[in-house]
Amino acid sequence: MNKNIPSPKDVSKVCDLSKPINKIVVSRGNPLAKLMIIGEAPGAKEEEIGEPFVGRSGKLLDKLLQNAGIDINEDVYFCNVVKCRPPQNRRPTKIEIQENLPWLYQQIKLVNPRVIVLVGATAFEAILKIKSRISLFRGKWIDWEGKLVMPVFHPSFLLRNPSKEEGKPMSLTKSDFLKIKEKIDFL
Ligand code: URA
C-alpha cells in the first residue's frame, strides 16, 4: 500500500456523519474473499440492518453476482467508501469522502483482495482519482496499487434504467460481472 495513504486517527469518529444516532456500517461477506465490492455509502436499510448493500440496490447487486456464478457469502466482501448514511441519502461530500478514505484503505489492507469492483461514480472517483464519466471506464480492468480494479454502474442507476436490451446499462453490467467471475476463477 502506498506510503502516502493516511491511516485512521480517531477511532471514536469516522467523520461528521458518525454522530451517536448514526450506525457505522462496516462490511458484509467474507473478509478472506478475493473480491472486494466498494459502494458509495449506506442507505436507510443498510443503516437499519448494519450491513452494506441490503436494500433494493443490494438485492439487485446480489442478483447480478449470483447470475455470474459468484457466491455472495463465500466469494465477496462488501463495503462502502463512506461508513455512515448521509442525510436524505444525498451524495457524500468531498470532505466526508476524505475523512472516510483512511478507513477504507485499512479495510483494503486487511482483506487484501486480488480484485476490487468500484460500484458507481463515488467509489470510482474516490479510489482512482479520475474525474470522468464512469461509462467510459466501466468494464475495464485498471491496475491500482498492484490490484485489479474494475468500475461498474451503480445498481441504483440500473434500477432507474431497467431495460434488458443489448447495449443498455443492465446488459453491459451483466457482462461486466461475467468478466469479474472469469478473473476471480483464474487468479
Ligand atoms: N448504495 C451503496 O453504494 N452502498 C450501500 O451499501 C447501499 C446502497
pLDDT attached to residue 16: 73
pTM for this one?
A: 0.91
pLDDT attached to residue 23: 83
Grid coordinates belonging to 184? 476471480
Ligand 1 center to 119 CA (angstroms): 9
77 lines ligand 1 (CB under 6 A): no
Phi then psi for residue 148, to 5 deg, are: -90, 125
What is the chain's mean pLDDT, rounded?
A: 92
Domain covering 11-186 assigned CATH 3.30.1320.10 in the classification: no
* Per-residue pLDDT tens over the stretch 42-62: 999 999 999 999 999 999 999
pLDDT attached to residue 154: 98
With the most atoms of ligand 1 within 8 angstroms of its CB, the residue from 26, 46, 104 to mutate is 46
58 lines ligand 1 (CB under 6 A): yes
pLDDT attached to residue 89: 87
* Per-residue pLDDT tens over the stretch 104-142: 999 999 999 999 999 999 999 999 999 999 999 999 999
DSSP H or E stretch at residue 176: helix 169-186
| Centroid of chain to Cα 101 | 12
Span between the terminal Cα atoms of the chain, in Å: 20
DSSP H or E stretch at residue 60: helix 56-67
Ligand 1 center to 82 CA (angstroms): 9
CA 28/CA 127 separation, integer angstroms: 20
With the most atoms of ligand 1 within 8 angstroms of its CB, the residue from 27, 47, 49, 57 to mutate is 57
pLDDT at 41 over 70: yes
92 lines ligand 1 (CB under 6 A): no
pLDDT at 10 over 80: no
Nearest one of 183, 159, 181 to 170, comparing CA atoms: 159
Ligand 1 center to 4 CA (angstroms): 27
39 lines ligand 1 (CB under 6 A): yes
Q: What is the mean pLDDT of residues 61-78?
A: 98
